[in-house]
Amino acid sequence: MSMPYYVSPEQLIKDKADFARKGISRGRSVVVLGSSAGILLVAENPSKALHKISEIYDRIAFAAVGKYNEFENLRVAGIRFADQRGFAYDRSDVTGRSLANAYAQTLGAVFTEATKPYEVEIVVAELGLDEASDQLYRIGFDGSVADERGFVAMGGSADAVTAALRDSWHAGLDLGASVRLARAALTGDRAEPLTEDQLEVALLARDRPRRTFRRLTGDRLAELLAG
Q: Are 202 and 51 in contact (CB under 8 A)?
A: no
Residue 193 lies in a domain: yes
Nearest of 192, 190, 215 to residue 42 by alpha carbon: 215
Q: Are 199 and 42 in contact (CB under 8 A)?
A: yes
Q: How far apart are the first and last CA of the chain?
A: 73
CATH number at residue 110: 3.60.20.10
At residue 3, the 3 state secondary structure works out as coil
Residue 221 lies in a domain: yes
* β-bridge partners, 204: 39, 213
pTM for this entry: 0.94
Number of domains in the chain: 1
The Cα–Cα gap between 85 and 42 comes to 28
pLDDT tens digits for the chain (227 residues)?
555 677 788 999 999 999 999 999 998 999 999 999 999 999 999 999 999 999 999 999 999 999 999 999 999 999 999 999 999 999 989 999 999 999 999 999 999 999 999 999 999 999 999 999 999 999 999 999 999 999 999 998 999 999 999 999 999 999 999 999 999 999 999 999 999 999 999 999 999 988 999 999 999 999 999 98
Residue 98 lies in a domain: yes
Range of the domain at 106: 20-226
